Structure 1
């Protein structure tokens, strides 16, 4: 095993034992804040006047709110962070990537407020801004490209939703519109293909498509949708009220099922997505021509398939009891809305799955004949026109929804009283005013409009708290998916409400809110320790310093690819499959590693999300499993993290790539190599003592490696690889200061 010098050893120990994130220990906020504060209407506070000795640190109203509280404790902000530290922080925050050495050098030369504002605007205009901001939202809506459970079947069109989210953030889609599209895009914006794709938010539930008890499966799906909307959009654990009234929050069991009733018309659809009308017209014309020229051959294929489809369908049909199975023989106008939902689930197993699998079940002579017909079709008319990707969307089964019951103890087998769609009684004790359309219930539209009212306290507080968490490591309420009684108390409730109202004043622009936060003195301050401040507020709840944050697994991978020069910045499209560690290949049979190296080096947001096999680097660095909503990732420190960065073959290859780049850009002089490597990895110049130690390491390591590599040039190059490997393992590379 390679010998790594002490910089790496110290960094690894830091990774394993350093504390990441604030402790949040401080006196609770004002006693006049009630336990049910989040259900109360938004306050309309004014930015406070700060003490004169602190006024010079106020860059915008955010600073005024924070400094007013700090002043009461005799505290203030830390000084602004060093320019190199600040540009690294803001670049990672807004793009998820490190700045280039050239970008750092330009900013360090002019770190003025005007230059910083231009930097922020440039980063927000970067195509990588949307990719970075999408990551947290995908955690929230439990986005995945497979079903989960034992089968874990792929969802081929799921990536269209991921790309929709990225573009929505990139284009600064107003947050109210963003929510409306995801809850009811088909109802509110008919004909808009992106709004239809947006409804895929409600299709990311884990699912076992081959389940037999379909009424239970339906309820489990509706439960998942309801719980996710409650946590992700409202910031409440409404799922705790499914079996009984919430034990702590003023959420009744009837409230839970009033919300669930909005989704009772559940009608999943997978539809082709075209970029525009011309593309659709052209595809349909090509397909019509191809079908016309191959009609007789297709008919012969169908005859070969018929007995296999009949046999497979009959076998699948036998899995269901007679009451279920007979639904296959009915027309939609003969069924209730609930029966239509059940029938669609049965049909998928009895008709759709066998149709997709039939060629693989044929006997040899029939398979040979079927294949020959396939070849004849291509000879006659060429390959069949490639179908566009199908988006996973949600609509309703019709203008009438199945009845919603309050389930006793949450058990689908013990339905209680019927309940209509309505809102949370603690805020708005009304039954929803609903107007059905010709094809949908209109229910989801009513919920979307209620959640995006300008004075809606839940939606607005929840999202600005999430933005705050993104930039400061922890939200004003430290439990972003639970602003209720059992969650953390807000440290600055007036600031939270001011931000919520400011979001609406800014026409629901998330970019405007991000910009305000990162332009504040609070954000720009150093993260250095101050003993006096720590005595008063050891957990930094009052934000007298900026918080250091460990990079998430996706950003670690992206940063490594960026500094090696291997990052493929192409955007959008189906998920890619990077290589996995060698010891996983035996069990990763359904992880088809992308053949093209450029595809393997795409950004991490485009890595295929498989529920039953998370990409190992992401999993080790605390990526959620996407089975339920995740509002804040855990940040753990463990030996396997350090061991992977030290020993994994892929990381070693990245170190070689980084060494190649450094040698190409700096030449063979140790001083130049050290300077370039440190600037790439740390976004700063090496300190004099640091440069001396690293150059000494290069010389000593070259001597050590001479026994293995007699060629002095080769030994020196391998020493550079070791140097680069060490830098990638250090705490400074893995954290945002």
Structure 2
């Protein structure tokens, strides 16, 4: 009742709720749309009224509006992750229309650069990577297709509820849709030690990852705390944990072909014809290669218990769903498929192998080209393996057999599950529950993540812990109002949500950099919070300022040069220099070798979901910006760009360099000092000037 009483107080204009008014289990209660409070200050959107209600209670108000140059730079970095060009700045400054700012917002939201920027925070949550992790850290060559799916989804403003459903159960809910199949790559980004012998444990690790990541990313819950016992603080039991896990029990990773129904039928027809034509030769070749393949895998087979090897050797049709999962994990290690057995042959066998290989090569033109493939997820079949409550979380200590179920404190009713011919229907039921407008967590969580994107800290600072042990919302009524708007008025549109936030007065404030005893941490947002660029945006800003940013979209990842002291670890530098200068979202993500510049500026390891990057300030960051070969090289390129644009006149060089780097002209004092520096700085003075500009706080921070 306290929560509803606090909402009533706000609606009557008597004052906002404070942390003391918020019940511990507030996030598990339904979203109720509060009334917009009446305030004295000037508002641009209802968002401002909720914030001013708290500020005015402490005798505070918003800071003055930021100037136009600051706003265009702030918006450009927030929505594109890139600085505005001097031409874009000038166009905004010269636009006298009363809706000039709103037009700028709409233009930025409509650009394909928007999706590339927004994808970054979701890839952090999805623990997206292009390698397995662990010691082997094997490559995942087609994982980039999921990254492109995320970018496309943000650019198309795909409704968030659809975005949720596709990633958890695209194969079940939207069969035949290649995009929906690609979306299930969300469930494939778990770290995986493929060469481990304890496959039963690895299966449980995968199930735990799927459960924990889904709950954290979509529901903002630390569900994993209930894997060994009832949650210590949240209304979540251990039984809840394993009932949610049961939705994933039949997980079956596949590398699915990206074909629509028509293309798939054509491919299958041509493939069947080729297989029929070559059946005899392929069977003879397989029989010839069999003993050699067995010899190749004999050593690996010795690592596994006989009962596990028996699963690999038995016909697939005879395996239970659990045996199918186990056999696949073992087979990955004891199979010689794909290896060139012919190289190991001699004598008559080699001659026979060469003859058969030549016959197959002669009809290779009839074999349809393999379609592009994507790492995806489906089920072992309509009936998944059983799920048990694991005592103390130990997979060897099985307790009660559990059926799928939702978190009982949110939805006590059992799910309605409809199996398909090839899947269990369980993930579809889970996805529909999470994406239901009545779920009290989903809309609140994503709205809070978007708020965090724009202000550095969410309305709930612990953005993936909405539980009792997490932080209380600083503005609970605002959070619920935004969540209600997002679902009922905006149709789950993220672009409309972004627009609503960035057109508010609170977003347009200046960053005064001052302190205030009434709110020393600026939790009430009486000024705009100055923020440093993340590593990806910083690299992109350097490339763009130097004039070499390659804006090509999509496709396989690129691999820029590494510092000389870094061991490559399978990092194959892209041969084309232009490819190395593509946007940072397209740089390869290896778990055991993060791109050093990103790692230095606090990018996550992508081993588990990351909901918020915490910003560090370290000496190596400053030293890298001063001494790193990449930065020095781009400073030189920047200098070449400036002199190509304006020649060698000192006044013009300084003006152009400052405009490109900082989005403004130099002051008279700055110009005098910098021109004097060029006059006395020697042959590399322009490069040194450009290098210095790339090191300024004004370049590194968003005001």
TM bucket normalised to smaller: over 0.9
Say if 1:271 and 1:390, in contact at 8 Å, map to a contact too.
yes
Determine the C-alpha separation between the residues in 2 that align with 1:119 and 1:682.
19
Q: 1:256 aligns with which of 241, 246, 255?
A: 241
CA RMSD of aligned residues (A): 2.4
**Partner of 2:388: helix, strand, or coil?**
strand
Residue 429 and residue 286 in structure 1: after superposition, are their counterparts in 2 closer, same or farther (change >3 A)? closer
Partners of 1:695 and 1:648 in 2: how far apart?
Answer: 26
**Structure 1 residues 368 and 76: CA distance shift in structure 2, 3 A:** farther
Q: 2:7: which partner in 1?
A: none
By relative contact order (CA 8 Å, sep 6+), the higher-ranking structure is: 1
Q: Which residue of 1 aligns with 2:501?
A: 517
Cα contact 1:94–1:133 (8 A) shared by 2:
yes
Distance 2:593 2:428 in 1: 36
Summarize the alignment of residues 435-446 of structure 1 with structure 2, pairs less than 5 Å apart: 435-446=418-429
Residues 181-330 of structure 1 aligned to structure 2 (within 5 Å): 181-274=166-259, 276=260, 280=264, 302=286, 305-330=289-314
Matches within 5 A, 1:474-513: 474-505=457-488, 506-513=490-497
Matched, 1:139 2:124: yes
2:524 matches 1:542: yes
The answer to whether residue 23 in structure 2 is matched with residue 43 in structure 1 is no
1:644, distance to aligned residue in structure 2 (A): 1.1
1:561 to 543, 557, 567: 543
Contact 1:308 1:361 in 2 (8 A): no
Report the CA distance between 1:699 and its aligned residue.
Answer: 1.4
Equivalent residue for 1:551?
A: 533
User: Residues 127 and 375 (structure 1 numbering): CA distance in 2 closer, same or farther, change over 3 Å?
Assistant: farther
Does residue 601 of structure 2 align to residue 621 of structure 1? yes
| Equivalent residue, structure 2, for 1:92 | 77
Q: Distance in 2 between matches of 1:63 and 1:646?
A: 41
Matches within 5 A, 1:132-171: 132-171=117-156
1:452-501 CA distance string (max 9 Å, x none)? 11121111110000000001111001111111122221100000011111
Q: Which deviations, in whole Å up to 9, do the C-alpha atoms of 1:401-443 show, x marking residues without a partner?
A: 1111111110111111111111112212232221211211111
In structure 1, C-alpha distance between the alignment counterparts of 2:361 and 2:695, rounded to whole Å? 53
Task: Report the number of matched residues.
Answer: 686
Q: Does 1:343 align with 2:327?
A: yes
- 1:523-560 deviation digits (Å, cap 9, x = unpaired): 111011345xx121110111111111111111111111
- Relative to structure 1, is the Cα distance of residues 677 and 315 closer, same or farther in structure 2, using a 3 angstrom cutoff? same
Equivalent residues in 2 for 1:27-42 (5 A)?
29-42=18-31
CA deviation after TM superposition for structure 1 residue 313, in Å: 3.4
Q: Secondary structure at the match of 2:128?
A: coil
Work out whether residues 17 and 476 of structure 2, in 8 Å CA contact, stay in contact via their aligned partners in 1.
no
Within 2, Cα distance between the matches of 1:537 and 1:396?
52
CA distance in 1, matches of 2:625, 2:118: 26
- The answer to whether the 8 Å contact 2:176/2:261 transfers is no
Are 2:554 and 1:572 equivalent residues in the alignment?
yes
> Of 562, 566, 580, which aligns to 1:600?
580
**Higher mean Cα deviation, 678-687 or 606-615?**
678-687
Report the Cα offset of residue 393 of structure 1: 0.9
Q: 1:329 Cα deviation (Å)?
A: 3.2
8 A contact 2:512–2:527 mirrored in 1: yes
- Give me the whole-angstrom Cα distance separating, in 2, the residues matched to 1:177 and 1:48: 32
Q: Which residue of 1 aligns with 2:95?
A: 110
> What secondary structure does 1:392 align onto?
strand
Task: Point out the more displaced range, 126-135 or 434-443.
Answer: 434-443
Q: 2:689 aligned to 700, 706, 723, which one?
A: 723
Could you say what secondary structure the match of 1:441 adopts? coil
Alpha-carbon distance, 1:650 to partner: 1.4
Deviates more, 1:459-468 or 1:112-121: 112-121
Q: What is the DSSP-based 3-state SS (H/G/I as helix, E as strand, rest coil) of the residue aligned with 1:393?
A: strand
Which of 639, 642, 646 is 1:666 aligned to? 646
Say whether residues 1:679 and 2:659 are aligned partners: yes
TM-score by length of 1: 0.89
**1:294, 1:381 within 8 Å by CA — same for their partners in 2?**
no
Gaps in structure 2 of 5+ consecutive residues: 1-15
In structure 1, the gaps of 5 or more residues are 1-26, 703-714
Superimposed CA distance per residue, residues 683-704 of structure 1 (whole angstroms, 9 cap, x where no aligned partner): 11111111111111111212xx
The equivalent position to 2:563 in structure 1, one of 578, 581, 586, is: 581
> Distance in 1 between the 2:598 and 2:639 partners?
24
Separation in structure 2 between the aligned mates of residue 343 and residue 381 of structure 1, nearest angstrom: 31
**Structure-2 change in CA distance of 1:477 and 1:350 (3 Å):** same
Measure how far apart 1:361 and its partner are. 6.7
Is residue 342–residue 353 contact of structure 2 (8 Å, CA) maintained in 1? no
**Correspondence for 1:11:** none
Cα distance change of structure 1 residues 111 and 623 upon mapping to structure 2, 3 Å threshold: farther
